[in-house]
Amino acid sequence: MSGMGSLDPRYLCVLRVHRPFFLGGRARPAAIVRKPNEGHGVLAPLGNAFNSWFGKPEQPCETQTALLSWHWAEDLIAVATGARLDRICAFSFQNGVWEIAGQRVPMFQGTRCLAFRPFAGRVLAIGCDDGVVLLRGTKTEHLRAPGHTHVVSLDWSSDGSKLATASAADGLVRLWDVGTGKSMVVDRGGLVCFSRGAGGRFLFVASAVSNFFRLWCTETWTMERWGYLSGPVAAVTWSPDGMALFFSTHGESAIHVISIGGPRIDDDTKVIHTEHTELPEKGGPGGTPVLLEMDNTGERLAVAYETPQEELESGGGLHNEDFRTDPNRRHVVALYATQLQPTFRISPVGYVSGPEESGPPVGIKFNSRGNANKLTVLSCMWRSGDVTCTQLLFNPYRQ
């Protein structure tokens, strides 16, 4: 990688937070920072057509989690952690302090996803056991809908005007007008993801128990169904322009790509299926990609692969003699170089490793805005509770 600027010393640290409860193992001390050398007005009417679509709720299986989120305009990262996933921490790289220290809040119990609202100060949406909570500084606002609890996925549209949430309790996807606190059902599923780019034109909805997904056009609220997948969708991410969709499915190690060629779903849609590039037989990740993230240039794709069940049951390698003595076993996030135009290409460029005894990655996010040094920062949350930031320096592709 050739440099475009110097490394930013603000990111040369490892954040440590309480270890997430559902990943097992012992809890960490309170949130600290460790230096390297130191130990609706906006809801469009959807009509009555949806009302007759929903039968018994589905019970989603495990899908992509979002336990950390970068602020849309500041060098601020929020993390969900704690013994019951009831603590929200937020670290400011600008000031070098924890602006939210992670006090336990019962309302946040069972947090599985969180995201800063674009163009809205520091409004943070939190999906938890009680439903959806908006955190504004020290104030909280509970968005309620009958049966819409145990929220496992949420996402804001790129302009911050729409919030989509998916519930494991009722199996439904809701679209919220956060100004009024009202919502309406738009689909059923366990994973939602708005496209990036102008206004979030498309909403991806996947069922965690069915081999299909749907793409909604948010301008007309027309839908296209994609089926005959090899298994339920495990992870998803969009290209920065919102014209390419990357996803993986349970039970296979492929990364699939859908390229949307026109301004509307039914104008010109072409499908490209691509297997992930070859990885080392030993010492590298494998299995299903369970976390996918693309940076703002569209030229770096971060991928976290599933961890074998026997390793999860044994503690994920933490304080495990087999892990410490096996030189080939690494807990890493794979990094790929991607090219979207004029033709799609993907190739491996390396790995991002966690700290010693970090365990596998449980969350990955790119800094959503970059910074003055033109750095791309990849943040990874590991099973141990460590959060690392890796600065990527590379020459962007030029057509």
Q: Which fold has domain 9-35+63-392?
A: Methylamine Dehydrogenase; Chain H (2.130.10)
pLDDT at 20: 67
pLDDT in tens, 176-230: 999 888 999 999 999 999 998 766 789 999 987 889 999 998 888 888 888 888 8
Examine the pLDDT at 1 and tell me if it is beyond 70: no
Tokens of 200: 């979030």
**pLDDT surpassing 50 at residue 314:** yes
Q: What CA–CA distance (Å, rounded) separates 377 from 361?
A: 16
The answer, yes or no, to whether residue 280 has pLDDT greater than 60, is no
Question: Taking a C-beta distance cutoff of 8 angstroms, is the pair 111, 149 a contact?
Answer: no
| DSSP H/E element including 174 | strand 172-177
Q: Name the residue among 316, 310, 309, 272 with its Cα closest to residue 288.
A: 309
Q: Examine the pLDDT at 17 and tell me if it is beyond 70.
A: yes
User: Is residue 385's pLDDT more than 80?
Assistant: yes
Distance (Å) of CA 247 to CA 10, 264, 293, 381, 393: 32, 20, 10, 20, 25
Note the pLDDT of residue 209: 84
pLDDT score, position 55? 36
Q: Name the most confidently modeled range: 260-264, 327-331, 386-390.
A: 386-390
Query: Residue 59: pLDDT above 70?
Result: no
Measured distance CA(318)–CA(395) in Å, rounded: 37
Mean pLDDT, rounded, for 130-140: 92
Q: Domain coordinates of the chain in residue numbers?
A: 9-35+63-392
Q: Mean pLDDT, to the nearest integer, of 278-283?
A: 42
Query: Would you say residue 24 has pLDDT above 50?
Result: no
CA distance 155 to 118: 11
Q: Which of 49-63, 253-267, 306-320 has the lowest mean pLDDT?
A: 49-63
Exposed e or buried b per residue across 237-254, where buried means at least 16 C-beta atoms within 10 angstroms of its C-beta: bbbbebbbbbbbbbebbb
- CB within 8 A of 83, min separation 6: which ones? 18, 21, 27
Average pLDDT over residues 244-268: 74
Q: Could you tell me which residue, 313 or 135, shows the higher pLDDT?
A: 135
Predicted pLDDT of residue 313: 52
Q: What is the pLDDT of residue 264?
A: 46
* Mean pLDDT rounded to a whole number for the chain: 77
**Contact residues for 155 (Cβ-Cβ < 8 A; gap 6+):** 115, 163, 164, 192, 193, 194
Share of the chain above pLDDT 90, in %: 33
Residue 29 pLDDT level (bands cut at 50, 70, 90):
very low
Question: Is 241 or 58 the better-scoring residue by pLDDT?
Answer: 241
For the chain, the distance separating the N- and C-terminal CA atoms, rounded to the nearest angstrom, is 18
CA 72 to chain centre: 14
At 10 the pLDDT is 79
User: What is the percent of the chain with per-residue pLDDT over 70, rounded to a whole number?
Assistant: 71
For the ranges 13-17, 105-109, 355-359, the lowest mean pLDDT is seen at: 13-17
Q: What is the mean pLDDT of residues 297-321?
A: 66
What pLDDT was estimated at residue 154?
96
Looking at residue 364, its pLDDT comes to: 94
Q: Are 384 and 26 in contact (CB under 8 A)?
A: no
330 has a pLDDT exceeding 80: no
Q: What is the pLDDT of residue 306?
A: 82
pLDDT for the residue numbered 329: 54
